[in-house]
Amino acid sequence: MPSVVLVLPRSGYRNEDFIAAASKLGVEVIAASDVCHQLADIWETAPVSLRFRDAQAAADELAREVSSRKPLAILGVDDLTALVAALAAEKLGLPHNPPAAVAAARSKAQSRERLRAAGLSVPRFAVVPLNEDPDWRDFPCVVKPLTLSGSRGVIRADDRDQLRTAIKRVAALLRSPDVAERRDPDLGRVLIEQFIPGPEAALEGLLVGAHLHVLALFDKPDPLDGPFFEETLYVTPSRHPAAVQDAVARAVSEGCAAIGLREGPIHAELRLSPDGPRILEIAARSIGGLCGRALRFGVGVTLEELILRHALGSAADPPPREKRAAGVLMLPIRKRGVLEEVRGVEDASRVPLIEDVLITAHLREELVPLPEGASYLGFAFARGETPEEVEAALRKAGARIEAVVTPRLPVA
């Protein structure tokens, strides 16, 4: 049986979907993770245990562990595991993105530098050490950590006072134990860049031999003006005019070339500014959270299957997304506290066009909103004839769901 290595983060949302896709395609999964032999239910056999902190060391160890099993491909599922996978694939001579490109995609500073060097329009930006008062005068701007994701630590500032406050807040986040444990030198610096106005869009794509196939273009109908940038609604197909959609695809294709990405899934976020589409970021992985479940291709093919098929060399021309409109609502965490109960889930599930409502947060878990938080309360999915009705259904469902939290007692 052919085998594929999946490099999976300990608490990744998508691990099960990738494992299910492999099983549907009849491919054996060799799992690798930072689980320290703590066997999660989804894995039938213990995964290769790695420490991701040093991506190169993790990749060397992974290559050593799996080479005798002759896997056909090595895949990661998020920013960090994609880098480990690319490095290990390079060692074993398997198809892969250039690791330097995957590393650049993961670093917001390197991405900006590569995009600018290629002559693409980027906002003015500066990388500043956390302990310096930056000489930045271009407002509004946003402050971002260099390697976190999911809008974590991304804060808008409209003047110098707000900028100082924002940097202090990001600094505290970067010092918090779950982030600081990465011991990444990038945790000592932040990116400041001009705020780009305009509606946002997200492009899900697959690179095949450096050619970008657009799998889906999502509109984000909720305005994202800050000060924090909570992702909520994603709806596809896009309602923007065809010319705008083409311009987005062109910008992303040029962006991938500038960063050096050539193979596999990409997820790009853009602002449709008055001067044209502007790339916020291109990640060398597919969409995060459970959002990929909003997508279906051809006859019931999932996003994860499509990615695996490509990795195994059989998706030169990926099937198009289904004809129907689809969307996902990332249920945001609005209030900090210990989760006691989630109300209204059944009620939300009964809204016409809603296909599923999944609560991914656990009871008694502490919920942390953005900009510090790193997770969602859950996800709601809808399908319908038009993006308008999908959006309306998701809004209706979201309004019915309420997280009941109690304040966490201070540690004595």
Contact between 145 and 281 under an 8 Å Cβ cutoff? The reply is no
CB of 140 to ligand ADP, least distance (A): 8
Q: Which of residues 251-280 bind ligand ADP (CB under 6 A)?
A: 269, 271, 280
Does 193 participate in binding ligand ADP (rule CB under 6 A)?
yes
CB of 245 to ligand ADP, least distance (A): 18
Question: Which CB, 280 or 315, lies closer to ligand ADP?
Answer: 280
> Nearest 10 degrees: CA dihedral of 18, 177, 339, 41?
30
Contact between 286 and 265 under an 8 Å Cβ cutoff? The reply is yes
CB of 142 to ligand ADP, least distance (A): 4
3 state SS of 313: coil
CB of 96 to ligand ADP, least distance (A): 22
Separation of alpha carbons 401 and 412, rounded Å: 33
Question: Which CB, 43 or 195, lies closer to ligand ADP?
Answer: 195
Which one of 49-57, 190-198, 314-322, 387-395 is the stretch in contact with ligand ADP (CB under 6 A)?
190-198
Q: Helix-strand-coil percent breakdown of the chain, rounded to 5?
A: 30, 30, 40
Does 196 participate in binding ligand ADP (rule CB under 6 A)?
yes
Question: Which CB, 19 or 270, lies closer to ligand ADP?
Answer: 270
How many CB atoms sit inside 10 A of residue 209's CB? 8
- In SS3 terms, 106-150 reads as HCHHHHHHHHHHCCCCCCCEEEEECCCCCCCCCCCEEEEECCCCC
CB of 363 to ligand ADP, least distance (A): 27
Site string for ligand ADP, 100-119 (x = CB under 6 A): --------x-----------
Site string for ligand ADP, 215-254 (x = CB under 6 A): ---------x----x-------------------------
3 state SS of 332: coil
Does 142 participate in binding ligand ADP (rule CB under 6 A)?
yes
Parallel, antiparallel, or unpaired for β 73-76 and 3-8? parallel
Contact between 218 and 235 under an 8 Å Cβ cutoff? The reply is yes
Does 186 participate in binding ligand ADP (rule CB under 6 A)?
no
- Residue identified by tokens 């005068």 is 137
CB of 108 to ligand ADP, least distance (A): 6
Q: Which residues bind ligand ADP (CB under 6 A)?
A: 108, 123, 142, 144, 148-152, 154, 193, 195-196, 200, 224, 229, 269, 271, 280-281
